[in-house]
Chain A
């Protein structure tokens, strides 16, 4: 592990105050789903809320979530680094995730992924120079009958062609 980039907030006190207030408000809503003594169960939703508000799950966000859920920062880090939909580093304004699993590849998924890589000038998990798009190769999206598929900011796009995928990604601001 390299030394953490000091641009990365390490402590919740470094996070914007209004963001933290918003985090607490949204978390309170989520906590209603769990028995009162099982607050730690809300770790995935808490980190997801943090990611939406602060852009990614930094160390500070992990500590904030752990503090609010009455559990250890290690627990937050374990979750933040295990699940692929939780970003541990800054990402582009949009996230494009292309499935290249078997059913998608049988209908051209890899071709789409390779084309988008070239168009955006990035490798897998890379962000375009203008900060617009982060591109990822992902596993099966559960759209095999309507393959090939991709997610754009968690929205499903199915029955794609190279042209259609390029148009969708090109239209992102």
Chain B
């Protein structure tokens, strides 16, 4: 059976990002079809498709849409293109190769939800991708698709704008994204109320990931049932898995949402580049709990991998062979969350730096066995104690690395240093200095 490709089918074609090319392949026909039906029917179709958010949380898209209060206007759409979770690199390719597919998704979504102003919030580092989007919006507006008359429909105006962030991981969190879009620092809001009820400028707002939105045209064109059939259970469709690290063929793979992780790594990506055994796999971006090399024979479907103790999050798979020092990897991950904690909640602001410090202490051989327990304690004191999910995101890798690789942590304590050494990661451990909270390791 040949695999159905939704998102990547036009990648690599010449000028695939242009309106002419998109139209030649049937682009914007789904919009025309949508405009001929009723908004309620589109929402039903999306519910039927079992499309779940591709940004990381995996929340049912159609259900999210129904949370909009019936009679409050205006409503807004924010497309989350803040892709910053380490290991995640899929949305940028949708934008680079097929921006009109995403714009068509935006157009259909806005028609379905009676939204007339949409923002694409894109991380500041993606300058080129922002320019591609602006060009595509200009093309679609000039062709009369976006603007005063959506797809030529009188009386339905839709304006779409690109808004560039300026470097803050936290702005990928939906309420921080809205704060940032309002011209403030990215402090997440307390929920509830959820954005669908009180969002941008206090108005009902739907926030969907780039990949999520890009699936909408296909669903409208082929039906929700066909989309659901590509997946399994309550998860429909295909999704983009980005594989990086020690694999022979890193890159983006579009696979059914319940694809097997081991098959993805060993068959599609050709296993490790070195031929060495796999030590660890982070299956869904750096915040997802790590899996040992012998635990990867699992389905990547949201609920299945959750049952296996991890999550498929943003679809960013990081593979590490057995040359790697897992303590050093965790030190880098801990540093990331310490850097990116917005500072609003005390457990996260203080705890992330503590965790980084303790992991560095272990890695540099200054720790006692009790420090490994202390590390877990700090992680447990952050999880669930913060306004947004960044606290959990910082705690989960620490908890899982310590639990799954405890022997490696204790070996560092025993050896009073890193028993693994450099092994291709970077500078030698002995000459590497880490400064955390004023303490030099």
A binding-site residues for B, Cβ under 8 Å: 33, 35, 38, 40-45, 47-48, 69, 71, 75, 78-79, 82-86, 100-103, 105-111, 113-114, 138-147, 151, 154-156
Contact = CB atoms under 8 A, between A and B. Distances in A.
Interface stretch (B46-54, B162-170, B216-224, B380-388): B162-170
B166 A142 contact: no
Contacts of B125: 85, 138, 141-142, 151, 154, 156
Nearest to A45: B164
Nearest to B249: A145
Given A78-B185, A102-B332, A139-B340, A144 B316 contact: yes
A83 B87 contact: no
Contact of A144 (B89, B169, B183): B89
A142 B164 contact: no
Contacts of B426: 100, 105, 108-111, 113-114
A139 B84 contact: yes
B318 A103 contact: yes
A44 B184 CA distance: 8
Contacts of B244: 103, 106, 144-145, 147
Contact of B168 (A84, A100, A102): A84
Contacts of A84: 166-168
A154 B164 CA distance: 12
Given A41-B183, A82-B185, A101 B165 contact: no
Most chain B beta-carbon neighbours within 10 Å: one of A42, A107, A109: A107
A83 B250 contact: no
B182 A40 contact: yes
B184 A79 contact: yes
Interface of B: 83-89, 91-92, 117, 119, 123-128, 161, 163-169, 180-186, 201, 242-246, 250-252, 282, 286, 316, 318, 320, 324, 329, 332-333, 336, 339-340, 342, 424-427
Nearest to B181: A41
B96 to A, nearest CB: 10
Contacts of A45: 163-164
A47 B184 CA distance: 12
30 contacts: A33-B161, A33-B163, A40-B182, A44-B164, A44-B165, A48-B124, A48-B164, A79-B184, A82-B185, A83-B165, A83-B185, A85-B165, A85-B167, A86-B166, A86-B167, A102-B245, A102-B318, A103-B245, A103-B318, A106-B245, A108-B424, A139-B84, A140-B85, A140-B336, A142-B84, A142-B88, A144-B87, A144-B89, A145-B250, A155-B127
Contacts of B117: 35
Q: 6 smallest A-B Cβ distances: which pairs?
A: A110-B426, A43-B183, A83-B166, A144-B244, A82-B185, A85-B167
A144 B164 contact: no
Contacts of B336: 101, 139-140
A84 B180 CA distance: 13
B67 to A, nearest CB: 23
Most chain A beta-carbon neighbours within 10 Å: one of B128, B246, B286: B286
A106 B320 contact: yes
Nearest to A149: B89
A31 to B, nearest CB: 11
B182 A142 contact: no
A138 B246 CA distance: 21
Contact of B318 (A47, A144, A151): A144
A143 B185 contact: no
A35 B117 CA distance: 9
B183 A102 contact: no
Most chain B beta-carbon neighbours within 10 Å: one of A82, A84, A138: A82
Contacts of A82: 168, 185-186, 342
B162 to A, nearest CB: 8
